[in-house]
Amino acid sequence: MTTPTSSPADNASNPLLDFSGFPRFADIRPEHVAPAIRQLLDENRALIERLTADPSVPTWEAFVEPMNEAGERLGRAWGVVGHLHSVKDVPEWREAYNALLPEVSGFFAEVGQNLALFHKYKALHDGAEYATLTPTRQLILDHEVRDFRLSGAELPDELKPRFKEIQEEQSQLAAKFSENLLDATNAHEELITDESELAGIPEDALAMARAAAEAEGKPGWRFTLHMPSYLPVMQYADNRALRERMYRAYATRASEQGKADWDNGPLIGRILALRAEESRMLGYANFAEVSLVPKMADTPAQVLAFLRELAAKAKPFAERDLAELKSFAKAELWLDPLEPWDVAYASEKLRQSRYDYSDQEVKQYFPEPKVLDGLFGVIRALYGVDILPDEAPTWDPDTRFFRIEKNGDLVGHFYLDLHARPTKRGGAWMDSARSRHRSAHGTETPVAYLVCNFPSAVGGKPATFTHDDVLTLFHECGHGLHHLLTKVEDLAVSGIHGVEWDAVELPSQFMENFCWEWDVLQGMTAHVDTGEPLPRALYDKMIAAKNFQSGMQTVRQLEFSMFDLRLHAELDASADKTSGPVPVERVMALLDEVRREVAVLIPPPWHRFPHSFSHIFAGGYAAGYYSYKWAEVLSADAFEAFEEAGAGKGSLLDAETGARFWREILAVGGSRPAIESFKAFRGREPRVDALLRHNGMVDA
């Protein structure tokens, strides 16, 4: 059966097809999705048919540029749909997104397998014009040939339909995984009507819980599994039974221990089986090998060795952290044994005891307006750009819009959506709304989405952020700057595009470091009640506590990374050759094995961490979660250049070093290998020393 399509005339007023400016979020409706996306798919297919039928030798101008333009229009429109599915996941948008997802996935699978199209790119890659192209365009063609091979272009014709089916099903499973997790997160609530059960929970968290209950027409205080509600309970509630209930609900989300329709276990098994089948079809031993082809790292063995080397250095510090926590919890809190739902609570008490301050105390100095002013001030000092409020349609009244200028010239725009909502998927992320590129109309400037899930303002006061929230905001803004400050005008490697996945976290993790600098914090803090800046004495306590439990935090990240890598290197390789789902029991058994090797905190056997591991099952990090630690080596080393430049000056906001970082890292995007960009900035190969020093994992 053929899919009904709409003629361009029918779509003349469709806001999803208006590429003249910013997305018309005020006008876009779910019913616009199918006709708009199908028209763009038809246009792309017609263009491909025309270009592949042309017997002339392909050229960049006559072949690549039309392909880029058509693909950019489809990518922008579908990107808006995907974005709304993430930030406004109401039934109508979920249905519209899922209805078109198989068609879009199928189209890209078709393109990747189109042998005639592959031959056109290869002819240009192997032809005389290649030598006359810029190094950037040569790299793009290198990547195109590589990606066609990874997309199954060279598979026998009889295998291509199956390969396409695999891609389509994986897209659907990833979307379903994310939806199950959001639904399971939204489904749980703790409604407390006796105020005595809420001892220890900070006033702002209680006010938010009271407002949440009132919004539902319920008495008392309503706590949910969304992080702004969940974390204060785990960190501060004296009520151990409440902490245990919340912990169990959070730890078993989207598993067989809840609603069957939301169980991600079968999806995990199916996703792994499909990835294994895809890998075998492409001639690789496992999906980890496939994942690493476009990354900096060469082999799974190399990555595993890197993770184990870090684990060997970090685990002694983690064991010391845990021993101290257990001893304190037993002696001071009468918590023996220390249960998993006690860890955040006991850690906060230990931090207060040892350093004489709490996260809650620090939070009062980070009201949202002041934090944003401080963030924008850091960016201005480093790169000489101005961030100014601007106007454009948005998807929620809470969302803001800004433009970036350099000496009065427009650089780019970004949307800022900071607060948690029930219809918004969890976590924080940056995504592209439009990439910098040169088109027939001139240079199109980039536009980014910056999305977080922070608490909202309550009771007439501005929202206040924990220092961890501030770190998250700076992190996502680092991704945004990578996208927005690019100077590359070839779409495929502009901004974050084409950057190796294990290097893409460099600019984001780099930005986090400034959140620990006194001259930065002075300008971005003001007590929410008094307006007083962060006291130097409190800052000194924060610095003293900066590496509090850094060993435990490091091995936790290494646990996730090693689990992800081995999952896709070992279980993939032994998956059922008929593509039957990998039993979730084997997934859990592998996780237990990894924990025995690197972890110091072992969760209860009923814990279902994989069922909410969206990064690898719904977020593109499959066999790539190690990228956070890999890139952290690069980012810590890069930040050391600012430490060196600022030594003795009282500030690390060195404009000359910032200009070099922009020129050699941010501006070039994916137009050259990341290691070359790093060496151009640093003048040498990366070293792990700065990372270990920043994390306090060096012996005094």
pLDDT at residue 1, rounded to an integer? 35
Q: Which of 173, 169, 177, 171 is nearest to 612 (CA)?
A: 177
pLDDT at residue 635, rounded to an integer? 95
- Measured between alpha carbons, how far is 480 from 446 in angstroms, rounded to an integer? 10
Give residue 520's identity as a one-letter amino acid code.
V
- Measured between alpha carbons, how far is 186 from 538 in angstroms, rounded to an integer? 36
**Strands lying side by side in the sheet with 429-434:** 386-389, 400-406, 409-419, 447-454, 429-434
Find where tokens 């496992």 sit.
286
pLDDT at residue 347, rounded to an integer? 97
Per-residue pLDDT of 158-170, as tens digits, reads 999 999 999 999 9
pLDDT at residue 571, rounded to an integer? 81
Measured on CA atoms in the order 135, 481, 307, 146, is the torsion positive or negative? Answer: negative
- Measured between alpha carbons, how far is 71 from 4 in angstroms, rounded to an integer? 21
pTM here?
0.91
pLDDT at residue 574, rounded to an integer? 53
Cis status, amide bond into 337, omega within 30 of 0: yes
Q: Which of 410, 405, 400, 417 is nearest to 379 (CA)?
A: 405
Q: 531 φ, ψ to 5°?
A: 80, 0
* Residue 279, token pair as written in the block: 């890998």
Dump the DSSP string for 371-432. HHHHHHHHHHHHH--EEEE-----SSTT-EEEEEEETTEEEEEEEEEEE--TTS-SS-EEEE
Dump the DSSP string for 18-60. --SSS--TTT--GGGHHHHHHHHHHHHHHHHHHHHH--SPP-I
Kindly calculate the radius of gyration of the chain based on its CA atoms and give it in whole angstroms: 25
* Domains of the chain with bracketed CATH: 15-154 (1.20.1050.40), 188-253 (no CATH), 263-357+550-624 (1.10.1370.10), 385-544+626-700 (1.10.1370.40)
Confirm if 261 and 267 have CB atoms less than 8 A apart.
Answer: no
Per-residue pLDDT of 572-606, as tens digits, reads 655 555 557 889 999 999 999 999 999 999 999 99
- How many Cβ atoms sit within 10 Å of the Cβ of residue 612? 23
- How far is CA 344 from its chain centroid? 24
- How many Cβ atoms sit within 10 Å of the Cβ of residue 47? 15
DSSP 8-state code for residue 452 = E
Instruction: Catalogue the active-site residues.
Output: 476
- How many Cβ atoms sit within 10 Å of the Cβ of residue 44? 19
Residues 6+ apart with CB under 8 A from 54: none
Please compute, for residue 316, the number of CA atoms within 13 A of its CA located in the half-sphere on the CB side: 7
Q: 403 φ, ψ to 5°?
A: -120, 155
- Measured between alpha carbons, how far is 41 from 29 in angstroms, rounded to an integer? 19
Q: Which of 446, 497, 492, 504 is nearest to 678 (CA)?
A: 504
Confirm if 560 and 554 have CB atoms less than 8 A apart.
Answer: no
Q: What residues of the chain score a pLDDT lower than 70?
A: 1-10, 572-579, 699-700
pLDDT at residue 2, rounded to an integer? 41
Measured CA angle at 170 (ends 169, 172), to 5 deg:
65
Strand partners, 191: 222
Find where tokens 């992080």 sit.
227
